[in-house]
Amino acid sequence: MDYSNFLIMNHELSLIVVLILTLLADLTACGNKKCFQYFAIGLFTLHTFLGFFAWNIGEAESFGGMFVTSEIHCFMKNILNIGTLLIFLFGFEWNKEANKKSCGEFYFLTLATLFGMYLMISAGDFLLFYIGLETASIPMATLVAFNKKENESAEAAAKYILTAAFSSGVMLFGISLIYGTCGSLYFNEAMIGFNASPLQIMAAIFFLAGLCFKISLVPFHLWTADTYQGAPTAVTAYLSVISKGAAAFALMSILIKVFANYPEFWKEFFWWVIVITITVGNLFAIRQKNLKRFLAFSSISQAGYLMLGVYAGTPQGMASMVFYLFIYLFTNLAAFGVISSIENKTGKLTMDDYNGLYDTNPKLAFVMMLAMFSLGGIPVFAGFFSKFFIFAAAVNVGEVLLVFIALLNTIISLYYYLLVVKAMFIKKSDAPIAYFKSDCMTRVGLLICTVCIIALGFFSPIYEYINGISFGM
């Protein structure tokens, strides 16, 4: 074997080292789980930091083209690293109190799913992509069922496992048909053999349907709300941001590398999927009282906006999609950070519980307000700029009607995001959530998210950099 093939797998090799050291540290922790958590978070922080100094920053491939990398691939992995690190910070208190006996398993399984997502992003053929998908999905099912003594968690895990298995089966059937009709699993060779015959179109639809499940696009979203509600909050945050982001990038990459010669069949499919996803997500979010279900339908709607960049298929579309993910990461995790902090201290998760939160916990209310404003796309916050760029990418390929429908839905989303703000700042409660002080790790995570929500929209070099390294049709 030519071991030089491994030299471009910088993120993957670094993560494997972190995985092994985390496992060994857990085995030798001797009950001192607090020190173990500091070690695991510190080690992953080092991995995240080194990711920005990857030895290769140009285009390269290994294993005959099965594994590919470039600057945009490395940047996407760095985004996932930042999001995972923030989730570790927000989950520190939960792991210290409610999950102290198995917190090592939480870190190991989370890192294992992240490794699978690395493979999805850098896959150069369908085989490695599917291996990465399953490597990410199987540990994720375990994470969803982590609160094994709670019925909601068990129910959420059962729904996730069954729907994930079904979608994987459908996707694998589509991949087998693509291989049979195109004669290769490599993306560049499959593109040559793809001629949009009826059988190949059916194969592509099966494959895309499996990926739509991972991104929670309507009508493949039925698992999302129940799974988000039943899973531990840290896992829910991971599903809503990290898993969704990796799948969206992989989807766009495959559309460009395999199906770019026949965009008419998949663009019509995704046109309707985007419209239905944004609309259904918004309408159902209005009715939710449980905040985890609320953010579940919000994430479904956000996935629809995300797909506008994928639909464009241009380098600008990829740049806007990656930038949208980058902003969405800080915005959504800020909301989950507040929810996690309050849940750990009080166990409260409904919107009515947040009535009068500003009077007792003004800092948490302020962070949640910023998150809601950014998710709604209110100007001056980072979420506004991410929506602007992704709308611009769709308009530049002539999809004015699609953008107009998305804009109308943005007005609807503002309504239900402001319901949370109204509850915290305007409504009063006879028994509001009492004042408490969040743990140090949560405060650090919320501070990072707050600064990024305010500042990133005005820091144009980030978008310019992403735009310079993106690719498309």
Q: Where are the domains of the chain?
A: 3-469
Q: Which pTM does this prediction carry?
A: 0.92
Pick the most confident of 291-305, 421-435, 455-469.
291-305
Q: Is the pLDDT of residue 411 over 70?
A: yes
* Angle, helices 10-27/103-122, rounded to nearest 10 degrees: 170
CB 357 within 8 A of CB 276: no
Nearest in space to 329 (alpha carbons), one of 433, 470, 456: 456
Judge contact between 278 and 409, C-beta under 8 A.
Answer: yes
- Cα separation, 40 vs 440, in Å, equals 16
Nearest alpha carbon to residue 379 among 304, 307, 297, 454: 454
Give the pLDDT band of residue 56 (cuts 50, 70, 90). low
CA 174 to CA 166: how far, in whole Å? Answer: 12
The pLDDT tens digits for 258-286 are 888 888 878 888 899 899 999 998 898 88
pLDDT score of 79? 92
**pLDDT tier, 195 (very low <50, low <70, confident <90, very high otherwise):** confident
pLDDT digits (tens, 9 = 90+) for 93-148: 877 766 666 777 888 889 999 999 999 998 888 999 999 988 988 888 888 887 77
Which comes out higher in pLDDT, residue 336 or 32?
A: 336
Residue 412 CB contacts under 8 Å (≥ 6 apart), including other chains: 282, 283, 286
Q: What dihedral angle (degrees, nearest 10) is formed by the CA atoms of 74, 80, 81, 83?
A: 150
The pLDDT score that the predictor gives to residue 46 is: 92
Residue matched to tokens 């210290």:
96
